[in-house]
Each structure stands twice: as C-alpha cells, then as structure tokens.
Amino acid sequence: MNFCSHCGAPVSLKIPAGDSLPRHVCEQCGTIHYQNPKVVVGALAEWEDKILLCRRAIEPRYGFWTLPAGFMENNETCGEAALRETREEAGARIELGSMFTFIDLPHISQIHIIYRARLLDLEFSPGEESLDAILLGEADIPWDDIAFRSIDYTLKCFFEDRRKGEFELHSTSFAIPSPGTYR
Amino acid sequence: MNFCSHCGAPVSLKIPAGDSLPRHVCEQCGTIHYQNPKVVVGALAEWEDKILLCRRAIEPRYGFWTLPAGFMENNETCGEAALRETREEAGARIELGSMFTFIDLPHISQIHIIYRARLLDLEFSPGEESLDAILLGEADIPWDDIAFRSIDYTLKCFFEDRRKGEFELHSTSFAIPSPGTYR
C-alpha cells in the first residue's frame, strides 16, 4: 500500500496513538488503513461413498485437485459462500451440513473453513476456474496432486471420521508453509 | 474507496472479466481491489462459576458490557487473537478451550468467533479500551446492557449449555440488525 484509497495522498507506516502495531496512515486525511485476514470457505460434498473434487484451471496450483472453495465475499454468510463457490467451481447444487475443518494459516493471513455437504443431484460440470469436477471414492483420491495442505488435511480427517462413524469439527493451524511449494 | 492504494490513480466500480461482482478497479495500473469480511475473535473466560466481562470505554456501545474481543490481525491465528484481545481489554491471562460460538453478520460483513477459556489467575485489570473488567455470576449479568447481539447470544448459549452439563459449538447468523441500535 502506497497511497490513501480515500484521498489519494501518500501513506506512511506508523503506529497510531493507542495502537500497538504499525498501520498504513494517510499523511493528509489521517485515515488509518487496517489490513485483516481473509476467509476462504468451501464444501466437502458427498454422493453415496464418493466426494466431489475439482481440478484447478487457475494459479496457484494449476492442474492440482481441490475441494470447491474460495474467498468469502462481503454481505454473505460462510454457508452462503460455500454454496456459491460449489456452484461456481463445480456447477453443483448442495445441501450444507456442519462446519468440518477450521484451519488457521497465519503465514498467509488466511482462515480456511470447510463444511460437510450433500450433493443434491448429478447435474454438475466444471466452472470457468476448474478443468474437471468429478466424484471420487477414497481409493481414487490423487493424494500426490492435492492443491493445498488445508484440503489434504480436510480429506484425511473426513475419511478417518467416516471410518469411525462419527464426524467432529477439526481445528488446526499450519504455521509454516510446506517445503517446496506455495500452499 | 476513491483511489488506487498501489499507484494513486482514481478507481472505478466495474465487474472484472471472469468475475460476477463489481470491484474497485484502477484505471491506470489495473489493480483489482477486493473487499472481504472481517473476523472478530474473543473469549468467554471462566473462574469458578463466574465469567469475565468488560465494560466498553470506546464507541460503538460506550459503557455497555461485552466479552473481551476484537478484530483479528494479519499473521496471527484465531486462538492467538482471542488471547491478545483478552490481555489488551481485560489485562487477563487465559488458557483457551474450544470454539464456542460462530456468528455470521452479513449486514456488516463480519464473523464473530468466541472461544471458551479458563482464567489463569485474578491479576487482571481493565485495558485502555475498557472502563471495567470484572467477574460476574449468571444472576448478575447486566442483560439489558450487553453491547452486541453476538455477545448476548454467546452468554445465553453458555449458561444454557452449562445447565445441561454439555458444551457444543453454536453457529448462527444474524441477517438483520436489531431494531434501535447498531449491533
């Protein structure tokens, strides 16, 4: 951030009175520009013993597999974000279950939240940001080609809980990026 | 938003190619400025049969009661945000339990997340943003003077679950602001 989005004057990094962290502060109009973590929301949608996965048609991680998920927008709920992303990326209609994974990624200032869900019909097809959208059983999950660590974690929790016959909320935090690739 | 925070040129509201919502787009450098919901995190800290409440020394809702909570910062986890806010607003050290309430407030593009917690000692005192920080039992909660609807909801869930002897995650969404006051 170089300029004030309110008045267009240069900003400088300083700790405002009564604050403890440096912020971008406008030299001219005094506006303090806070920057906050972003929330990514998605769905793990089931159909019989299979789950809905998408192959990414965009960077980062072009060609890798993920659950339908994306940045939450202003003026929507987390649940609405999960429904919207699933419709956009997989063309799929789902019924939402409860929150399943809640993952802090402080190194990239993101929270990833995945809900359990039930696919309502088989009328789905990949959206613009996906190369494929398909149903896969546990034996066919491409474990070496999962796009993000939070998705890998979510899938592993899911199959483990399914074996136990009991699903619970899994919270974790990934403080350090995986070696080699941006995740 | 009137100006590009990257190059200082005017921005205009338009739907970028491949997008479905209007965004602030820079006329000069092309940067798309996304705006996303903010996360507020706090703690419901117990000491014996009492809980830790703060009386606000700032607007909105000056003089009303709340749980220690505030905006999550970049590069911290939700749990770290709850510990930091409790230290800042109540001068209190806590041990964090599990996530207790998760509340969508789409009309103000916020998520409020409150964790259960255990107060570690009685060495606490109000921070700069609080007039008071005190321990209160259920009978003494100032129900008519609670600052925010999400905090009122969290307190009611807590006392109800405590009576049942079983605590669970409560998720809800408040789509419409309460009549009369900003919440």
For residue range A57-92, what is the model confidence (pLDDT) as tens digits?
999 999 999 999 999 999 999 999 999 999 999 999
Kindly report, residue by residue over A39-49, the tens digit of the pLDDT.
999 999 999 99
Condensed to tens digits (0 to 9), the pLDDT of residues A93-109 reads 999 999 999 999 999 99
SS3 B90: helix
Instruction: For residue B31, give the amino acid letter.
Output: T
pLDDT higher than threshold 90 for residue B20: no
Do B29 and B114 contact (CB within 8 A), yes or no? no
The confidence band for B94, taking pLDDT boundaries of 50, 70 and 90, is very high
Instruction: Kindly list the domain boundaries of chain B, sorted by start residue.
Output: 1-35, 38-173
Distant-in-sequence, close-in-space partners of A162: CB < 8 Å, separation ≥ 6 = none
Query: CATH class for domain A38-173?
Result: alpha beta
Are B106 and A77 a contacting pair at CB < 8 A? yes
Q: Which residue has the tokens 């398909």?
A: A134
Q: Residue B171 has which token pair?
A: 């998720």
Per-residue pLDDT of B113-160, as tens digits, reads 999 999 999 999 999 999 999 999 999 999 999 999 999 999 999 999
Minimum distance, in Å, between the CA of residue A96 and any CA atom of chain B: 13
Query: Which alpha helices (H) appear in chain A, and where do they start and end?
Result: 78-90, 149-164
Extract the tokens encoding B67.
Answer: 């749980």
Where does the pLDDT of residue B19 fall: very low under 50, low under 70, confident under 90, or very high at 90 and above? confident
Structure confidence at residue A177 (pLDDT) = 58
Contact B158, B166 (CB under 8 A): no
The whole-model pTM stands at 0.94
CA distance B146 to B83: 21
The confidence score (pLDDT) of residue A178 equals: 53
**Would the CB atoms of B102 and A107 count as touching at under 8 Å?**
no
pLDDT for residue B176: 67
Q: How many CB pairs under 8 A join A and B?
A: 109
3-state secondary structure (DSSP) of residue B163: helix
Report pLDDT for A20. 86
Give the H/E segment covering residue B150: helix B149-164
A1-35 and A38-173, same CATH topology: no
Distance from CA of A120 to the nearest CA of B (A): 23
Instruction: Tell which wins on pLDDT, A180 or B105.
Output: B105
Identify the closest residue of chain B to A17 by CA–CA distance.
Answer: B128
What's the average model confidence in pLDDT over B72-80?
97
The pLDDT value given to residue A176: 67
Q: Quote the mean pLDDT of chain B.
A: 94
Q: How confident is the model at residue B181 (pLDDT cuts 50, 70, 90)?
A: very low
Domain A1-35's class?
mainly beta
What percent of chain A is modeled with pLDDT above 90? Answer: 92
Cβ contact (<8 Å) for B79 and A39? no
Task: Name the percent of chain B lying above pLDDT 70.
Answer: 96
Q: How far apart are CA B102 and CA B106, in angstroms?
A: 13
Interval B168-177 mean pLDDT: 88
Mean pLDDT of chain A: 94
A129, A58 contact by CB (below 8 A): yes
Using the predicted structure, report yes or no on whether residue B178 has a pLDDT greater than 90. Answer: no
B111 contacts on A by Cβ (under 8 Å) = 39, 78
- Within 40-69 of A, beta carbons closer than 8 Å to B belong to none
Q: Name residues 160-179 of chain B within 8 A of A (Cβ).
A: 169, 171, 173, 175
- Peptide bond preceding B60 in cis form (omega within 30 of 0): yes
Q: Where are the beta strands (DSSP E) in chain B?
A: 11-14, 23-26, 32-33, 38-47, 50-56, 65-66, 69-71, 94-105, 110-119, 130-136, 170-173
Nearest CA in chain B to A78: B104
Residues of A within 8 A of B24 (CB-CB) are: 5
